[in-house]
Amino acid sequence: MNKKLVLVVDDEQIVLEMLEDTLTDNGYLVEKSSNGIDTLSKIKHLHPDVVLLDNRMPELSGMEVLKFIKQTGDDIPVILMTAYSSTDVTIQAMKLGAYNYIVKPFKLNDLLAIIEKATNREHSDIATVKTSPAQNEPEKSLIGQSLKMQEIYKIIGRVVDTNVTVLIQGESGTGKELVARAIHDNSNRLNYPYIKINCAAIPENLLETELFGYEKGAFTGAETRKLGKFEIANKGTIFLDEIGEMKPSIQAKILRVLQEKEYERVGSNETKKVDVRIVAATNQDLRKEVEEGRFREDLFYRLNVVSIFVPPLRERTEDIPELIASIIEKSNNKWNKKVQGVTQEAIQKLQKYRWPGNVRELQNVCERMVLMSTGQVITVEDLPFNILNGEKGIDFGAYTGHKSLKGILEDVEQQIILKALEENNWNRTITANQLDISRRTLYEKIKQFGFEE
């Protein structure tokens, strides 16, 4: 059996030698290069089976080398290595056609597994989408370097410049809308509209006209023609949030848009064509909804061409320090504060908390701490009592002197509402009835405590 040739590219000699020894011991042939120009020459003459490419190098960066490789039409799998990864870098690497992406320091066994898969790949495994400049606004960017977030960035990079429908799944507050926005902002639809529709927030009798528009005289009060969101979003992206709440009659019309790329305004017989990418999101188990007859099976499979699961914050606690730093920076700018950071003890408390409201709850907590802070560093004493108390019961005595009665009562109210929402699978109507408050009051409390995305 012929040995596979791996071209290892890094400007650090010690890294080259370490990788050469590891790969040789595992049965690979190895060729080394320390700069981008030499790398392009060796690819042309040696035709390696895999290129292991460092991103940060003199003369040509790894990203530039990757771009040159893919512009030649070469389908050699390229594995990009870097000491630090950002959302934009990862997405851009996958858009350019990188086979995979690994962040230093990495486990050699992880790298060997990627190389083995790359050398035994099928041709169709390679991402070959075309490139377009990413222009994410910082406040709309995904944040996190955990392995689960890295996998999300890779999927985004592979699908952004295709037209496949994407279904984003995850608990409330995890950042599903940020994923949808990242897909749009990194796609070739960037210069066209991005429109979000919250399917749960609009009554059924209004959702159809909101999506598809209506003609003058279509119903009482329709005094002028109104364009629907699909028409406005033409050539862009429409994000259907909480699609699991959509009624069957509307589901059928969405299915038609996906299958036939057409629809009619309410009150019109004129069929209109539309070119729009649909990204949908849900915090429900849509397969279960299909089994129980509440969601169309054919629509589910049309939506679920590519599925992205956004993990709850409790499953990526290593991202919490970076998230906090970003929130503090934005909060300082918003309120002209000068908070410089959070003590390690406070960080550890924040990482141990289960975050039922996920990233949105973290944002709410951090913004409040920055706003109420009197010093430059947030300490344990600044944390809400429910985070200090963790999973234990309420112990008011432990927090006497730390905050006002009003503040403690707000924290208790927050816990009670979260617990009720979780027990009722985030069904607002049932939760409001259980708490003996109006649905409107519940929505206001959800917004106040930052539990909505």
pLDDT, tens digit, 9 for 90 and up, residues 389-407: 764 444 444 444 455 667 7
Spatial separation of the C-alpha atoms in residues 245 and 427, rounded to whole Å: 10
Residue 140 lies in a domain: no
Residue 67 lies in a domain: yes
> What integer pLDDT is reported at residue 195 of this predicted model?
96
pLDDT for the residue 391: 44
Q: How many domains does the chain have?
A: 4
The confidence score (pLDDT) of residue 223 equals: 81
What local confidence, expressed as pLDDT, does residue 386 receive? 79
- Asked whether residue 181 falls in the same domain as residue 290, the answer is yes
- CB neighbour list of residue 252: distance below 8 Å, 6 or more residues apart: 296, 299
The mean pLDDT value of the chain amounts to 85
Most confident of 36-45, 86-95, 118-127, 183-192: 183-192
Return the pLDDT at 404.
67
Query: 132 falls in which pLDDT band (50, 70, 90)?
Result: very low
In-domain check, residue 319: yes
Is residue 72 predicted with pLDDT exceeding 90? no
Confidence of residue 136 (pLDDT cuts 50, 70, 90): very low
Q: Give the number of other CB atoms < 10 A from CB of residue 71.
A: 11
Residue 102 scores a pLDDT above 60: yes
Average pLDDT over residues 46-55: 92
Same domain, 227 and 255: yes
Eight-class DSSP state of 137: -
Q: Are residues 270 and 345 in the same domain?
A: no
Question: Is 132 a member of any domain?
Answer: no
Looking at residue 385, what is its pLDDT?
Answer: 78
pLDDT in tens, 246-265: 999 999 999 999 999 999 99
Position 121 scores a pLDDT of 58
* CATH classification of the domain holding 342: 1.10.8.60
pLDDT confidence band for 234 (50 / 70 / 90): very high
pLDDT at 141 exceeding the cut of 70:
yes
- Distance between CA atoms of residues 190 and 56, nearest Å: 28
Both 104 and 188 in one domain: the answer is: no
Query: Residue 409 burial (CB < 10 Å; 0-12/13-18/19+)?
Result: exposed
Say if 205 falls within a structural domain.
Answer: yes
pLDDT of res. 189: 94
pLDDT digit string, tens, across residues 324-353: 999 999 999 988 888 998 999 999 999 999
- Residues 318, 404, single domain; the answer is no
Query: Considering 266, 288, 309, which residue would you say is the last residue of a domain?
Result: 309
Judge whether 206 lies within some domain.
yes
Burial of 264 per CB tally in 10 Å (0-12, 13-18, 19+): middle
Task: Among 105, 120, 135, identify where a domain stops.
Answer: 120
Same domain, 248 and 163: yes
The domain in which residue 444 lies consists of: 400-449
- Ramachandran region, residue 204 (left: φ > 0; alpha: ψ -120 to 50; beta: rest): alpha
Which residues are within 8 A (CB) of 298 and not within 5 positions of it... i.e. 6 or more apart? Answer: 255
Q: Are residues 244 and 279 in the same domain?
A: yes
Q: In this structure, what CATH number is given to the domain that contains residue 421? A: 1.10.10.60
Q: Which of 370, 389, 408 is the last residue of a domain?
A: 389
Same structural domain, 111 and 244: no
Same domain, 154 and 100: no
In this prediction, what percent of the chain has a pLDDT beyond 90? 49
